[in-house]
Amino acid sequence: MDTTDTRFNLFENEIAARWAKRFAGAALVLHDASLPKSVQELVSLRASQINGCGHCVDMHVKEAVAAGESADRLHLVAVWRETTVFTEAERAALALAEEGTRLADAHEGVSDETWAQVRKHYDDDQTAALVCLVAMINAANRLAVITHQKGGSYKAGMFAEAVAQQ
């Protein structure tokens, strides 16, 4: 089998399509949350980079650009600790994204230090959205990586358009 081909089209399967509709609904709850859109895209991008999900990296870069995010910051997400372009709040969110994505790599999961920084910068609703977002993007990454969904064809707004049609 050519590994460049998608293995399975989840959208053409009834069970997967029904599940995806609910998954998209849950994602909309986060999209409508008070957590800043820039933070949502940065977190989704970082988790997707860690998980090697080309489809989701493509999506979140393009959505971030469409929302006004700078190319400089997007290019530096993978090395955010070694930059000066992210705020303390964004750095806390990126640390949570990394630690929440790499659960199997760290016996403690999310560190107390990272959690304290998240709570310093985000209210209860934003914290809830951030935790749920990390879980959602990791699930989306796994779906796309398992089925070999490739990056490159996403256009900004496609997700919103697909959800609106449901």
Q: What pLDDT sits at residue 159? A: 75
Closest CA to 131 of 155, 166, 96: 96
Q: What is the C-alpha separation between 42 and 31, in angstroms, rounded?
A: 13
Contact between residue 34 and residue 125 where contact means Cβ atoms under 8 Å apart: yes
Q: Give pLDDT, residue 3.
A: 47
Token pair of 5, please? Answer: 């081909």
DSSP state for residue 68 in the 8-state scheme: T
Cβ-Cβ contacts under 8 Å for 104 (sequence gap 6 or more):
none
Q: Identify the three-state secondary structure at position 144.
A: helix
Is residue 136 within 8 A of residue 26, CB to CB? The reply is yes
Distance of CA 63 to the CA centre of its chain: 11
With beta carbons less than 8 A apart as the criterion, state whether 101 and 134 touch: yes
**Spatial distance between the Cα atoms of 35 and 58, rounded to a whole number of angstroms:** 21
Report which of 94, 103, 89, 92 is spatially closest to residue 74, judged by C-alpha positions. 94
pLDDT at 131: 98
What is the predicted pLDDT for the residue at 105? Answer: 85
Read off the pTM.
0.91
| Half-sphere exposure (Cβ direction) of 66: Cα atoms closer than 13 Å | 14
Written as six digits, the tokens of 160 are 């919103």
Tens-binned pLDDT, residue by residue, of the chain (166 aa): 344 688 888 778 899 889 888 998 899 999 899 999 999 999 999 999 999 999 999 999 999 999 999 999 999 999 999 999 999 999 999 999 999 999 988 778 899 999 999 999 999 999 999 999 999 999 999 999 998 888 888 888 777 776 666 5
